Amino acid sequence: MTRRSIYLAVATAALATVARCEEMRWFNLEVNEPRRDTEVRLHLPMSLVVAALDVVDTKDLHHGKVHFCSHSSEIDWPAVLRQIRSAPEGQPVTVKSDDADLLVTRVGPIVKMRVDEHGTEGERLELSIEADLLDALTINSDSTVDVKALVARLGNTRGEVLKVESHDAHVRIWVE
């Protein structure tokens, strides 16, 4: 009887551990700025990120929605997203504006974006993002992004979801 109780307790503890590991997903962010010799690493429970997004109510972040003041605000983002989603795989989508040129190509599960800013100090920004994540991305006409929906989608993903390469910084976001 005692041995049986011990086995039961061990089995319960093991199941509880597995269940706990199953529910604990981690959001990871790594930012390297070589010019400024700066490194930032975040390793946060996904539930914490979701909870924070849900509650925070500031000027820029309002209950999981971010209003971004894009310098290329004349770009019709909802239209661009529709174009990217409907484009055949491998076929690039090009968007030109006064401030920057955007080139987007869908390759398998990854969407690659290249932003070339105009001007003498124009920078090149390269982004790789999970296509699934892009599907969850909604940008309203008033340049509002539903970050909460994006993070909720991250909950179903594992591995690298976003990579940004620029002159100044390397950013990597992954879920484990």
Partner 1 sequence: MKQRGFSQVTTVVVAALLALLVAPLFMGWLVVDVKTKGADKHHFWIPLPIGVARIAMVFIPDKELACAPPQELVKHRELLRSILDNLDRCGDTTLVEVRSPEATVRIATEAGKIRLDVDARDAKVHSAFKVEGVRKALERWDGGQVHPHQALDLLASLGRGELLSVESDEADVSIAYW
Chain residues that interact with partner 1, rule: CB under 8 A = 20, 24, 36-45, 47-48, 51-52, 54-56
Nearer of residues 84 and 154 to partner 1, judged by Cβ: 154
- DSSP of 42-67, one letter per residue? EEEEHHHHHHHHHH-B-SSEETTEEE
Name residue, tokens 């105009």: 118
Nearer of residues 9 and 16 to partner 1, judged by Cβ: 16
Name residue, tokens 């990579």: 163
Nearer of residues 27 and 77 to partner 1, judged by Cβ: 27
Closest CB 6 distance from partner 1, rounded Å:
25
Closest CB 55 distance from partner 1, rounded Å:
4
Q: Give the Å distances, CA to CA, from 119 to 38, 98, 102, 124.
A: 26, 10, 15, 11
Closest CB 108 distance from partner 1, rounded Å:
32
